[in-house]
């Protein structure tokens, strides 16, 4: 299993890093479009669209993303789109998590499919626009999610006692969530200092927030972003548990599926752009 994880990670990095560090945002947009299409296929399989139905959902998502790319929405999407996505995530996640895994399959299949397609399309659009805003910006958002996830895992293992959502993800604890949030705040402070010390060409998310909102509001914004990274993870866990699946698929040997790797990113990127627009 460890060997598989390492090989898969190396292959993914060999594809993603050149696209991410390209001087043009287009390669990153195209590579992530392929990945988000795979996530759309996985969403269909988890939501009662097996076989051809899941392929159709993946294809529709790919067409939607390609259309947005052709229309240059990846650099010109209105700020209202990010706020709408953030509000929908907040309301939808609250409803889904309150209902739990048993309530999720009771929603009409078509509604669940639409929810997934809109969620994944908005996340891809936000990813692409974040890259267009600059390498420093997109990396700062990625790092926020990674820091929250890694620190939450470590904090949960070391201090975890109180379950965060036992019916959805029994391994998550309040102590882990608090540790992850603390890591995000430390990361933001360090990144802002680095931006100032090295005069970064493009501002990071953290520098934008501080310069536009001030420190108190930035603190609240970071708390929201850290919380939404947990929410994204929990929502995907809920859908998998409702479907009786351990992983979203086996596309990434040793890692599960694409949704398993990007779940925390899905709400964070639209919300990051919404907050940066302030």
* pLDDT tens digits, one per residue of 102-112: 999 999 999 99
What does the pLDDT average to over 58-81?
Answer: 90
Answer yes or no: are the C-beta atoms of 8 and 111 closer than 8 Å: no
pLDDT at 51: 83
pLDDT at 252: 85
pLDDT at 256: 86
pLDDT at 2: 60
Answer yes or no: are the C-beta atoms of 40 and 120 closer than 8 Å: yes
Answer yes or no: are the C-beta atoms of 213 and 249 closer than 8 Å: no
Helix (H), strand (E) counts: the chain: 12, 2
**pLDDT tens readout for residues 126-149:** 999 999 999 999 999 999 999 999
Return the structure tokens found at 211.
């310069």
Domain count for the chain: 1
Of the candidates 79, 34, 77, the residue with the CA atom closest to the CA atom of residue 251: 34
**pLDDT tens readout for residues 11-50:** 888 998 999 999 888 899 999 999 999 999 999 999 998 7
- Structural domain that includes position 16: 2-276
pTM: 0.94
**pLDDT tens readout for residues 172-224:** 999 999 999 999 999 999 999 999 988 777 899 999 999 999 999 999 999 99
Backbone angles phi, psi at 163, to 5 degrees: -70, 135
Name the band, by pLDDT with cuts 50, 70 and 90, for residue 254: confident
Distance separating alpha carbons of residues 232 and 214, to the nearest angstrom: 27
Mean pLDDT of the chain: 92
Over pLDDT 70: what percentage of the chain? 99
């Amino acid at each position: 299993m460890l060997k598989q994880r390492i090989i898969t990670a190396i292959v993914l990095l060999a594809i993603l890093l050149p696209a991410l560090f390209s001087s043009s945002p287009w390669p990153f947009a195209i590579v992530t479009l392929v990945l988000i299409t795979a996530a759309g296929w996985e969403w269909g399989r988890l939501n009662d669209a097996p076989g051809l139905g899941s392929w159709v959902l993946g294809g529709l998502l790919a067409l939607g993303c390609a259309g947005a790319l052709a229309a240059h929405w990846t650099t010109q999407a209105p700020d209202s789109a990010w706020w709408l996505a953030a509000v929908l995530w907040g309301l939808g996640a609250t409803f889904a998590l309150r209902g739990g895994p048993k309530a999720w399959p009771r929603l009409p299949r078509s509604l669940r499919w639409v929810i997934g397609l809109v969620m994944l399309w908005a996340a891809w659009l936000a990813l692409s626009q974040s890259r267009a805003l600059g390498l420093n910006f997109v990396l700062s958002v990625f790092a926020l999610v990674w820091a929250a996830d890694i620190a939450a895992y470590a904090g949960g293992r070391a201090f975890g006692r109180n379950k965060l959502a036992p019916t959805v993800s029994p391994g998550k604890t309040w102590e882990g969530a608090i540790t992850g949030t603390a890591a995000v705040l430390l990361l933001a402070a360090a990144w802002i200092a680095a931006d100032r010390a090295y005069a970064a060409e493009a501002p990071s998310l953290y520098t934008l927030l501080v310069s536009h909102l001030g420190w108190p509001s930035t603190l609240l914004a970071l708390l929201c972003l850290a919380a939404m990274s947990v929410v994204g993870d929990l929502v995907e866990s809920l859908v998998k548990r409702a479907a009786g699946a351990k992983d979203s698929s086996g596309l990434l040997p040793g890692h599960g599926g694409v949704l398993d790797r990007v779940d925390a990113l899905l709400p964070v990127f639209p919300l990051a752009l919404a907050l940066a627009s302030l």
